[in-house]
Structure 1
Amino acid sequence: MDISRFGEFAILAQSRTFLDAAELLFMSQSTLSKHIMAMEHELGCKLIDRSKRHVTLTAQGEALLPYAQKIATLQHRYLAAIQIGADEPLEHLTVGSIPIMTPYGITDAVIDFQQANPSYSVELIEGEGDTLKRMLLHEDIDLAFIRDSGAIEPEFKKIPFTTDRLVAVLSLDHPLAERDTVEIDDLIDENFLMLPQGSFVSELVLSLCRKAGFGPRVTFTGKRAENIISLVARGAGVSFLMRKPAESLASGKVALVPLEPATTSEVRLYLKRNAAHSQAVVSFIGFLPYRQLLQGDRASSTAARPS
């Protein structure tokens, strides 16, 4: 059996859908399905239950999963060790990213890849989404982490990386601060403190207001989320941010209440479709889905180590 199948099985178990797992593994759903069926045939048992909307593991699949994860991490490590031992010049990889890198785990992903693959030279470039897309098309960068607007963009291949959710930012003494969720029209009479017009979050909020049938009373517009949070904390109004960057700045000064219905956004890894991708690009794409497996393996090793 091709031992790469164990890694594919582990990613499928983690992703819980063939679509998400196939995108992470940079292959078609039909190819992934054939690989899993080949595993099942060779092992003589069913590993997954295909009768449900989300992939669930059978008892045999659950039994196999921890071993599949270990095999996948070992495979990644021995391939990295072989690269380190090769006396070849460094191959360069240029990664673009939207400015909000740390809250989305982008800096950690790039650093983890560099540490696991020292035979590659990695350059990280910050830019706005539209700028990064132009750089990809001109092949000034190899790949980029960009917030997906949902637009149809056939010129790019998009691989899921992380999901975020829009939250209302309220002062701690706001009447709705203890709510589990709020709706946009709950805040119709509030002063809105907004990110600049044209920004992803601003356009999202204005669209929600239009659907609710009102125009917000905007009393502040600014680029820096930390300034907005400070103003909200002092009772100057309410605001809206994506949860992950807001959590990194809030520090208990404000309440972050999810909007209902849930309004989410995806940060994806963008590549130019039909471009000739280097081995460094292929390695980076292959590394991302195994990164959590590697982190989990390190955590288990640390926990097992005697003090």
Structure 2
Amino acid sequence: MELRQLQYFVKVAQKEHVTQAAEELHVAQSAVSRQIHQLEEELGVNLFMQKGRNLQLTPVGQLFCKRVESIMKDLDRAVVEIHEFLDPEQGEIRIGFPHSLGIHLIPSIVAEFRKKYPNVKFRFKQGMFPTLIRDVVGAEVDLAFVSPFPDRHDQVDGDIVLTEELFAILPPNHPLAGEQSIKLEQLKEERFVLFSKGYSLRPIVWHACLEAGFTPKIAFEGEETDTIRGLVAAGMGVSLLPEMALFQTNPLQPARVRISEPKVTRSIGLIHRADEKLPPVAQAFRAFLLQYFGIDPSPKKEGKADTASAP
């Protein structure tokens, strides 16, 4: 079994068509067909079946493809790690983060890091908490910012790098918009604009309201901080957002008011795969981030991870 056969097999599985696969691989169609045929002969199974003008993986082909894709991903990563070992400043950092951190924090820290390592490349992935955890465990990313920080998880480890206060955001003409601070219970009769289920800010806001003695009435739900902020600014309701999500990105902005009681915060953690050494360039970036946030880089034996979600 040759590496070329596996590469051709994966490409045909992705394109479901030999001609299209050959075009992307820049080889003759006959070469692709021959390699696939030899692979099937060696394995003693049919990996594809005809479906109209396309090819479709057989059940055993689907099983084989899943394993081969994992092997190819590991092989690609191994090549990258060798290059990074030879020259860490030329490497690539794969990092995941929730949407709310992409407005200001991620651009700021990347710009600062690139002052020292101008040739390092970045590959970014945004997602909710479960997706980011899965991307770290599955080696899709090297590092990820997540909120809340997972307290117990056998496959990831990390550090809390930031605890951020949440503010009430109100329509600009709201009677409380000019206050320095308010108690959350003062919003008990208001209708709330919340993140959809699956985003970590939703349970934080929900539990804060329960602690203040009321269940929030939901007016609208959204999936991005810009949407939440825009709906509130348009007078559709009130909400709570972390300060990092309140940087102005358009002229229509809600009023921001500090909540004095109860204190509402979220934790932001930086996680990586447990018991696995990061590539040199990712390790350099992690060390930079811990210094950036003023975190002691000493290794910890306790404090692994839980599960939730994040915007």
Is TM-score (shorter-chain normalized) higher than 0.5? yes
The residue that corresponds to 2:183 in the other structure is 183
- CA distance in 2 between partners of 1:183 and 1:153 (Å): 35
- Identity rate of aligned residues, in percent? 25
Moved more, 126-135 or 211-220: 211-220
Could you say which residue in structure 1 is the equivalent of 2:216?
Answer: 216
What code does the residue aligned with 2:180 have? D
8 A Cα contact 2:171 2:238, kept in partner: yes
Alignment of 1:1-307 (within 5 A): 90-118=90-118, 120-149=120-149, 151-249=151-249, 253-259=253-259, 260-291=261-292
The alpha carbon displacement at 1:262 in A equals: 1.8
- SS of 1:169's partner is strand
Q: Which runs of 5+ in 2 are unaligned?
A: 1-85, 295-311
> Counterparts of 1:223 and 1:87 in 2: how far apart (Å)?
40
| 8 Å contact kept, 2:88–2:280 | no
Aligned to 2:248, the other structure's residue is in SS state helix
Aligned length, in residue pairs: 209
**CA separation of 1:90 and 1:231: change in aligned 2, threshold 3 A:** closer
Moved more, 245-254 or 260-269: 245-254
What do residues 175-219 of structure 1 show as CA deviations (whole Å, max 9, x unaligned)?
222222222211111122222133212211221222333222212
Cα 1:153–1:118 change in 2 (3 A) is same
Name the structure 1 match of 2:35: none
SS at match of 2:99: coil
Q: Report the AA paired with residue 142 of structure 2.
A: D
The 3-state SS of whatever aligns with 1:271 is strand
Displacement, 1:128?
2.2
Measure the CA separation in 1 of the matches of 2:207 and 2:291.
Answer: 37
**In 2 relative to 1, CA 262–278 (structure 1 residues): closer, same or farther, beyond 3 Å?**
same
Distance 1:187 1:136, change over 3 A: same
Once the two structures are superposed, residues 40-80 of structure 1 have per-residue CA deviations (whole angstroms, 9 ceiling, x without a partner) of: xxxxxxxxxxxxxxxxxxxxxxxxxxxxxxxxxxxxxxxxx
SS in 1 for 2:147: strand
Q: 1:103, 1:239 → 2: CA distance?
A: 18
RMSD over equivalenced CA pairs, Å? 3.0
Q: 1 CA distance for matches of 2:92 and 2:248? A: 31
User: How far apart, in 2, do the equivalents of 1:135 and 1:230 lie?
Assistant: 30
SS of the residue corresponding to residue 210 of structure 2 reads helix
3-state SS of the aligned residue for 1:210?
helix
8 Å contact kept, 1:243–1:256: no
Contact 2:129 2:199 in 1 (8 A): no
Instruction: State the SS of the aligned residue for 1:282.
Output: helix
CA positional deviation for 1:100: 2.5
1:158 Cα offset (Å): 1.9
Distance, in Å, in 2 between the alignment partners of 1:250 and 1:279 is 39
TM-score for both structures, normalised by structure 1: 0.59
- Tell me how far 1:230 sits from its aligned partner: 3.4
Instruction: Specify the structure having the higher radius of gyration (Cα).
Output: 2
How far did residue 256 of structure 1 move?
Answer: 0.9
Whether the 8 Å contact between 2:158 and 2:271 is mirrored in structure 1 is yes
Structure 1: any 5+ residue segments left out of the alignment? 1-85, 294-307
Confirm or deny: 8 A CA contact 1:102 1:108 kept in the other structure: no
- Output the amino acid matched with 1:285: R
Q: Deviations over 1:266-285 (max 9, x none)?
A: 22211112112221122112
